[in-house]
Chain A
Amino acid sequence: NAGVTQTPKFRVLKTGQSMTLLCAQDMNHEYMYWYRQDPGMGLRLIHYSVGEGTTAKGEVPDGYNVSRLKKQNFLLGLESAAPSQTSVYFCASSPDRGYQPQHFGDGTRLSIL
């Protein structure tokens, strides 16, 4: 049972490049989330999804887009990467609306030069 899998694990981009981070979960969870974590800032919610085909903005959505075409996958896109988006990105999933805790992937370390 893999749980939550994030790809890639590491990536270096140049300013202005685009990329997509993939999150896949095999627990049949309805809810999925993308966070970024910066030193001293804690986890900040970028976007989330409450089910297949749905997405919603979190605390820091600017510069990111997401899609949830399949229940098990949640994609995070950076259309034009900026150095301020250098961070560690975590994906998480949960079976329902906060009664049950989230399960996290092991993160993607992204550097924008």
Chain B
Amino acid sequence: RKEVEQDPGPFNVPEGATVAFNCTYSNSASQSFFWYRQDCRKEPKLLMSVYSSGNEDGRFTAQLNRASQYISLLIRDSKLSDSATYLCVVTPYNFNKFYFGSGTKLNVKP
């Protein structure tokens, strides 16, 4: 079983829409969680960390559900520039590695 699993998508949404992605992780002892964004043929870039109480950064909201072992990313008022692949990242209890999901592709259409 993979450490981290994501729906590959693509999610095709119109501008202004709200879209949500989930990411499930297998190790219940996982400690740190992040969402990264990756544009085509570019390096992953940190979008936001995910805190236990949930956190928001502008149009982006991240949440953690430890009981069901998933994290989520909500994007409100989608922009064309949000089109990218979104990677979720989990670190285990000993923190020495980062486990990446394969990514969820988002296409925001005019």
Query: What residues of chain A have their CB less than 8 Å away from a CB belonging to chain B?
Result: 31, 33, 35, 40-43, 45, 48, 50, 56, 58, 88, 90, 92, 94, 96-99, 101-107
Contacts and interface: CB of A to CB of B under 8 A. Distances in A.
B103 to A, nearest CB: 6
20 contacts: A42-B87, A42-B101, A42-B102, A42-B103, A43-B100, A88-B41, A90-B44, A97-B91, A97-B95, A98-B92, A99-B95, A101-B36, A101-B46, A101-B49, A102-B46, A104-B43, A104-B44, A104-B45, A105-B43, A107-B42
Contact of A48 (B49, B97, B100): B97
Contacts of B102: 40-42
Nearest to A104: B43
B32 interface: yes
A69 B41 CA distance: 30
Interface of B: 8, 31-32, 34, 36, 41-46, 49, 87, 89, 91-92, 94-98, 100-103
A56 B44 CA distance: 22
Contacts of B92: 98
B45 to A, nearest CB: 7
Contact of A102 (B42, B98, B103): B98
A104 B37 CA distance: 12
A99 B49 CA distance: 10
A43 B91 contact: no
